[in-house]
Amino acid sequence: MVLSQFEGRYLLVSAQHPALRTAFVEQFSKAARQRVCGAFSVEAHARPAEVATAAEPVQRAVEEREEVATIQRIIDAAPDSAAWGKRPTLQALYVGRVMTLAVDDRFAKPGARCGNCAALWETVVQQSPNCGSNAVEPVEDVVELALEKALAERAALELVRSDRARQLLRDRGPMAALLR
């Protein structure tokens, strides 16, 4: 058995009988048990590719739980501490209020960016409503620029890939933000 920490999660790999794994996990502290996200089995001498294949369903389940939890936090924070939809989310990015940006990873949209104030829009505008500049240029994917801006502002990103989280997000808009 191997217990290690990876990206803040404990991974338990065991080639032993499931009852032994259960007995082993029961010896963890309550906090450590809560961090065990799932289990999978492989042969003791499995190659890395085999371990990755066996771990993939558990990893997907963990990612889905995290995505749903993030979207639910944004839902719970609305209306005062959340932005839903393209325009409100892009405006929140412009004013630097985004703490967590959640975007459907399949969502891409042409738009515009102001070369003067760096504001982003989901449609091409002739003049920046924010600074009045005519230095507005069309962009292929305003979502990619929004992700870059969020990272530059040290916001957390949640790229939504699971069907459950996508449905929660889709009901309100393809992108959303938890605000600072």
Is residue 119 within 8 Å of residue 130, measured between CB atoms? Answer: yes
pTM: 0.79
> Hey, where are the domains in the chain?
2-65, 74-179
CATH number assigned to the domain covering 74-179: 3.30.1330.30
Residues of the chain with pLDDT under 70: 1-16
Find the angle CA(100)-CA(73)-CA(38) to the nearest 5 degrees: 95
Q: In whole angstroms, what is the distance from residue 64 CA to residue 81 CA?
A: 23
The reported pLDDT for the residue numbered 24 is: 79
Output the CA–CA distances (angstroms, integers) from residue 37 to 3, 10, 43, in the order listed. 12, 7, 20
- Residue 31 confidence (pLDDT): 80
Position 10 scores a pLDDT of 56
- pLDDT at residue 1, as a whole number: 43
